[in-house]
Amino acid sequence: MFHDASAEIVRSVAYPYRVEVAKLYLNESEVWRQSIGLSEHTIGNQAALAHNNDADVYVVGTTSEDLFDENAGEKDAFLIKYAGRSGDVVWSRQIGTNATDRGLNVIVDHFGNAVITGTTTGVMNATDKNTTDSVLEGADSFVASYSTQGDLKWIRQFGTGNSDASTYSVSNSNGDVLVYGYTKIDSTNWGVLYSKFDENGNQIFQGKVY
């Protein structure tokens, strides 16, 4: 039987030390509900529905605990995939450096990859050959792409000479991802930082608006 993913929405609500993730029908009745978090501070920042018949759910956030793997530093970003029909965890990833890393946004692109964005004060230095290991100054933006199976396809760290964060992203049918967020201009003013990447993580352009 065909599963009408367009008739469902997801909602994540952050409470002290845990996150409630619920999948709902449009009439607000629940399909399922899950809780994330143990004893330390965990925040769920964004949820997204996959473009498939099961409408799988992805949730991104930030944790200071050993949520799925050992915490790499002060705070790590995390990404969870839930089965659309049951709410069971399909896979989870904890992404971090020895500093502070925050997962702020997740979307599902045209090919079903989960694309997350956020901010880091460390160096995103995984063993994957498609991972960057450069750091600019202050907090940098990052964007990472994971396959439907949870494999890291690529991760990129970028920014300016000031504090930056990527809070939103959109993708097109080619798999290109436009990432945008904020960048610090001076002690009192902020601007918009944006960048575009192709499906393989190659940066096409970067700019800022003050």
pLDDT, tens only, 114-124: 999 999 988 87
Give Cβ neighbours of residue 151 (< 8 Å, ≥ 6 apart): none
What does the pLDDT read at residue 129? 36
The DSSP H or E segment spanning 178 is strand 177-184
Domain encompassing residue 24: 5-200
Residue 206 lies in a domain: no
Averaged pLDDT score across all residues of the chain? 82
Q: How confident is the model at residue 174 (pLDDT cuts 50, 70, 90)?
A: very high
DSSP H or E stretch at residue 101: strand 101-108
Residue 203 has what pLDDT?
94
Instruction: Provide the pLDDT for residue 89.
Output: 92
How is residue 19 annotated by DSSP?
Answer: E
Q: Is residue 31 part of a domain?
A: yes
Cβ 78 vs Cβ 95: under 8 Å: yes
Spatial contact of 91 and 81, defined as CB atoms under 8 Å apart: yes
- Which residues, in sequence order, are CB contacts of 128 under 8 Å at separation 6+? 152, 154, 155
Between CA 23 and CA 26 the distance in angstroms is 10
Tally the domains of the chain. Answer: 1
User: Residues with Cβ < 8 Å from 12, sequence gap 6 or more?
Assistant: 19, 20, 21, 22, 44, 45, 46, 47, 59, 61
Amino acid code (one letter) for 209: V
Instruction: State the CB neighbour count (10 A cutoff) for residue 43.
Output: 23
Residue 142 falls within a domain, yes or no? yes
Q: At 14, which CATH number?
A: 2.120.10.30
pLDDT for residue 146 = 96
Separation CA 110–CA 171 (nearest Å): 7
Domain assignment present for 13: yes
Q: Does the pLDDT of residue 12 top 90, yes or no?
A: no
The string of pLDDT tens digits covering residues 27-54 is 778 888 888 765 556 666 666 777 777 8
Burial of 19 (0-12, 13-18, 19+ CB in 10 A): buried
- At 1 the pLDDT is 27
Distance CA 1, CA 40 (A): 42
Min mean pLDDT across 7-11, 32-36, 97-101, 108-112 is at 7-11
Q: Phi first, then psi: give them for residue 101, nearest 5 degrees.
A: -130, 135
In a domain, 205, yes or no: no
Q: Judge whether 210 lies within some domain.
A: no
Q: Which pair of structure tokens corresponds to residue 55?
A: 């409408």
pTM above 0.95, yes or no: no
